[in-house]
Amino acid sequence: MDQNARTALSVSGVVVGMVAMSFAAVPLYRAFCQVTGWGGTTQVAEQYADRVLDREVTVRFDASRAKGIPWEFKPAQVSQTLRIGESGLAFYEATNMSDEPIIGSATFNVQPAKAGQYFMKVDCFCFEEQLLQPGETMLMPVTYFIDPDLDDERNLDEVREITLSYTFYRNEDAEKREGLNAERYASR
């Protein structure tokens, strides 16, 4: 193999590696954020807090939709005030405004981001894909609490308000997997 062929092969290998890494970056970043709470990513709890403190925190709820999902999506309540460690139950409402079934998935974060690792979700609609039929409205719950360990962190003493945000996006991969809206994907 001559020098030019080796160089071309090496460059091709680097390009293939870079493309592979670009596809792996999003799932790796998401996994990192979910494990560490970095970037406002909330945590999943298997049980409720073992103690409830007197300190109160107001949780505000926010909702948005990604481009391409014909849903209305909003929180059913503006905010809730609860004591740290106390469990809360909030609802979000989604309506499919289209004439076809749509599968959506929700991403989430918390602001301020430094509180993300202390925002614990016990159960959430965001853990699963959501299928809404044409015109269907669904009320979706999230059960959560603020980890009492937040109170032990000096750099979080000023946190009295946390915003929980969800963004729904259309999950085209799930729609294809379920055989929904075949005509929509046939032309692609």
DSSP secondary structure of 42-69: -EE-SS--S---S-EEEEEEEEEE-TT-
Report the percentage of the chain scoring pLDDT > 90. 57
Domain assignments of the chain as residue spans, ordered by start: 1-36, 40-186
Let me know: does 121 contact 90? Beta carbons within 8 Å.
no
pLDDT of residue 29: 45
CA atoms of 74 and 139, how far apart (whole Å)? 10
Compute the distance between CA of residue 40 and CA of residue 45 in angstroms, rounded to an integer: 16
Pick the CATH number of 40-186 from 3.40.50.300, 1.20.1740.10, 2.60.370.10, 3.30.1370.60: 2.60.370.10
- Reference 85, options 110, 104, 46, 57; nearest CA is 57
d(CA 185, CA 54): 53
What is the average per-residue pLDDT within 103-124?
92
Q: Note whether 101 and 184 are within 8 A (CB).
A: no
State the pLDDT at residue 187.
58
3-state secondary structure of 155: helix
10 pLDDT band, cuts 50/70/90, is confident
Supply 158's token pair: 């000023």
- Tens-place pLDDT, residues 24-73: 544 544 444 444 444 445 556 666 777 899 999 999 999 999 998 999 99
- Residues 70-100: pLDDT tens digits? 999 999 999 999 999 999 999 999 999 999 9
Q: Who's near 146: CB < 8 A, 6+ residues apart?
A: 57, 59, 82, 84, 85, 115, 118, 119, 120, 162
The confidence score (pLDDT) of residue 37 equals 44
* Residue 126 three-state SS: helix
